[in-house]
Amino acid sequence: MRIFSAEWLKTRRTSARLLIFCTPVAFALLVIGYVSLEGIDEHIQTRVFEIFFEAWAACIIPVYVGVLTGITVHQEELAGNFSGLLLNSVSRHRLYWAKLLMLLLSTGISTTTAVLTVGVGFKIILGVSMNWIIFISAAVFTVIGTIPLLALHLWAGFKWGMGTSIGIGAAGLLVAALMGVTVLGDKVWQFVPWTWPVRLSMLCGIYLQFIENMQASLDIINLGFISKQLTTGLMSVLFCFAVAGTGGTIWFNRWEGRKSYE
C-alpha cells in the first residue's frame, strides 16, 4: 500500500491527473451534446450506449493507455535516468506491479467518471434515465479488456520510451476502429488485444437491445451467444495478461536502464 500511495503521489502536478480526470468529463459532454442534437426517441439508451462505448473503448482507450503509460515511464526517466527507480530498496517486481496497478486504477477511474457523467448528464439535461446495471457492467468489461494493453505498454515504454508507447497506442486506435467496431474483426477479434475493450463492452449492449422493444433476437441470448463470446474473450485477456505481465516482470528484474537517446 505504501508503494501504491507513492506511485499516486508521483502523478501530482503532472499531466497524468489532467488526463485521468478531465478527459472522461470532456468526452462525456461531447457525447451528450452529440446525442442531444440528434434528438430523443424510444431507442435513446441503445444509441447512447453504442456511441459512448464504441468511441471510448475503440478510440479513446488505445491512445489514453499509450499516453498515460508514456507519461509514467517518462517521469521515471527524468528522475536521474531511472536511477530513482532502479536503485530503490524495494524489490523490482513490486515496483513494476505497483506501476501496473496504478495504471489500471487510473483507467478504471477515467472510465467510471465518463459513464457517471453521461448517465447523470442525460438525466439532468434531457430527463433520460440510463440502465445503470448494463452501463456499469460494460464499463467493467472495458477496463478488464484494457489490462493486457497496460501490461504491454508498460513493458514497451520502459524498453523503448514514451514515443513508442504513444505510437503503439495510435496504431492500436486504427486496429480497434477497424476490427473492434466493424465486421472485419468478427472472426478474429479474440486474437487482437486492441479489440478486447470494445468487443467485451458491446456484449452488454445486446441485453440493452433486448430490453428495448425486443430488438435483439431471442436466439442470441437463448443459444448462449453472449456467454460463448464472453468466455472466449476473457480467456484471451487472461492469457495475454499472464504472458505480458510475467514477461515484463522477468525482463524488468534484469533491466539496467537505458540511455536517454535510445
Task: State if pTM tops 0.85.
Answer: yes
CA distances from 146 to 104, 170, 193, 218 (A): 8, 15, 8, 30
Rounded-to-integer distance, Cα 69 and Cα 81, Å: 16
Q: What is the DSSP string of 223-260?
A: TTHHHHHHHHHHHHHHHHHHHHHHHHHHHHHH-----T
The percent of residues above 90 in pLDDT, for the chain, comes to 69
Which pLDDT score is estimated for 226? 83
Maximum pairwise Cα distance, the chain: 61
Residue 139 to residue 133: CA distance in whole angstroms: 10
pLDDT (tens place) for every residue of the chain, 262 residues total = 677 788 888 888 789 999 999 999 999 999 999 999 887 887 889 899 999 999 999 999 999 999 999 999 999 898 878 888 888 878 899 999 999 999 999 999 999 999 999 999 999 988 888 899 999 999 999 999 999 999 999 999 999 999 999 999 999 999 999 999 999 999 999 999 999 999 999 998 888 876 555 555 555 555 577 888 999 999 999 999 999 999 999 999 999 887 654 4
Q: Where are the domains of the chain?
A: 2-254
pLDDT tens for 214-262 read: 555 555 555 577 888 999 999 999 999 999 999 999 999 999 887 654 4
What pLDDT was estimated at residue 261?
45
